[in-house]
Amino acid sequence: MYQKTKSYIRIFDQQMSFYENYARKKGMNGKALQILLWINGSAQTGISQNKIAQATHSTKQVVHAIIKNWLDKGYLELRANPDDKRHKLIFLTAEGSQFADATLQPLEALEEKAMAILTDEEQAQLIDLSRRYYQVLEKGLE
């Protein structure tokens, strides 16, 4: 079991290193790329800094620094949260949408190309097994 676990972790590490390298090539770090993915994925509804921190296992300070940088560049805007007046929601501006598209569309094309080598059944298995593996790890941290 030890060897299988280590083999899987090496593959996972290679995947994470790929995303870190991709982010660097786009002028950011891996955490900023993760945050951009969450903001872009919530483009219609907005997302709070707290939700981003929870989803990416980041400190509020790290999230705030990245958000502030993008606010200063005009990529983001903050809007009132109708459900919780204490926390604003983050939305992409038109310029931010262009930045997100330029950053994420090439990555999504690579991800789709990689997934396309698998059959539909293999894709479903990969997703299911990865989810189950992660859930066990996550529970171990509680």
Instruction: Kindly tell me the sign of the dihedral angle through the C-alpha atoms of 49, 53, 56, 62.
Output: positive
Domain covering 2-141 in this structure, CATH number: 1.10.10.10
Residue type, 120: D
Residue 138, pLDDT score: 86
Give residue for tokens 């396309």.
116
Residue 38, pLDDT score: 97
Residue 84, pLDDT score: 84
> What DSSP state is assigned to residue 87?
S
| Cβ-contact 49, 90 below 8 angstroms | yes
d(CA 28, CA 63) in angstroms, rounded, equals 13
Q: What is the pLDDT of residues 60-106, one digit of tens each?
A: 999 999 999 999 999 999 999 988 888 899 999 999 999 999 999 99
The rounded Cα 109 to chain-centroid distance in angstroms is: 16
Name the token pair of 1: 């079991």
d(CA 137, CA 131) in angstroms, rounded, equals 10
d(CA 53, CA 30) in angstroms, rounded, equals 14
Domain positions in the chain:
2-141
Q: Is the pLDDT of residue 141 over 80?
A: no
